Amino acid sequence: MESERAILAFAALAQPTRLDVFRLLIAREPEGLPAGDIARHMTVPQNTMSTHLAILTRAGLIEAERQSRSIIYRAKLDAVRELAFYLVKDCCGGRPEICAPLIADLSPCCTPKNEATQEAVHE
Amino acid sequence: MESERAILAFAALAQPTRLDVFRLLIAREPEGLPAGDIARHMTVPQNTMSTHLAILTRAGLIEAERQSRSIIYRAKLDAVRELAFYLVKDCCGGRPEICAPLIADLSPCCTPKNEATQEAVHE
DNA sequence: TCCATAATTCGAGATTACTCGATATATGGA
DNA sequence: TCCATATATCGAGTAATCTCGAATTATGGA
């Protein structure tokens, strides 16, 4: 990932409505949601949401697919990994031992090692 | 991490000079760099850089420590982990299996490959 | 073809962000 | 105290972003 694309992604996520939309679409993986449903979900005018969706798409964070009269949007999960990697790659390239714990803490969230713990991460 | 802080962080990183500064400071962990050196490194006026550093600090991405006449800035590595976790936590809470590969791909960047000893993780 | 639905694009006013010269504050040394 | 260094804050001009009403494009059905 080059700098310009990272800027686009961060700018896209630096807006409350768009950040919520991206997280909503991540939660709705892999089915996705049509544009209209997203607008209703966020209580935002339909054309305003269309602009936000275009910005997220241009940033490579989500993707669109027409399905009959609706356009289904889906989160591109790889984008999160690419962004995080872009930030830390210089650090890791030179000194892996510094970034190791950073990733170690993130892994438990997604590793279904023990599903029967006393606390659910879900809210 | 709450939404408002994530917005601040993404907005801070959505600017070329600040994104470069943050990555520079990650590369310079854990020593950090004084403000003046950072400005010279980026070929940016000193007061402009001061503003950028204030924005990164307010976003919780870097931290400042006065050392004699200089002020040393350091990256807060945890911020990257917190941001990534904020994005994917809903997905992971409900369906860990979807996000697992996402993290798996990021790990190799920070895991000391071969070279034996899997111990000794700093500190 | 006509109509209804679904989504995008256009345009403009209001708000916010970026930059940098000028000025102010803080520290250490003579 | 006075000076030099290091950084922060102020102010204003310029540029970019956000929002949403209005108009436009695309699809499917009668």
**Beta strand pairing status for B62-67 and A70-75?**
unpaired
CB B15 within 8 A of CB B53: no
Q: What is the pLDDT of residue B121?
A: 33
- B80/A121 Cβ within 8 A: no
Report the nucleotide nearest the CA of residue B35, measured to C1': D7
Contacts of A13 in chain B (CB under 8 A): 6, 10, 14, 87
Q: What is the CATH number of domain B3-78?
A: 1.10.10.10
CB B92 within 8 A of CB A107: no
Say how far apart CA B36 and CA B112 lie, in whole Å: 33
Q: What is the pLDDT of residue B89?
A: 81
Map out the domains of chain B as residue ranges.
3-78, 92-122
What DSSP string runs through A26-74?
Answer: HHTTTT-EEHHHHHHHHT--HHHHHHHHHHHHHTTSEEEEEETTEEEEE
Query: What is the residue whose two structure tokens read 């490959």?
Result: B113
Q: What is the pTM of this model?
A: 0.87
pLDDT digits 0-9 by tens, A8-61: 999 999 999 999 999 999 999 889 999 999 999 999 999 999 999 999 999 999
Helix (H, G, I), strand (E, B) or coil at B106: helix
- Binning pLDDT at 50, 70 and 90, where does residue B22 land? very high
Phi, psi of A49 (to 5 degrees): -65, -35
Say how far apart CA A101 and CA B120 lie, in whole Å: 12
The answer, yes or no, to whether residue B78 has pLDDT greater than 60, is yes
Min Cα–Cα distance to chain A from B68, Å? 27
Say how far apart CA A99 and CA A91 lie, in whole Å: 7
- B107/A103 Cβ within 8 A: yes
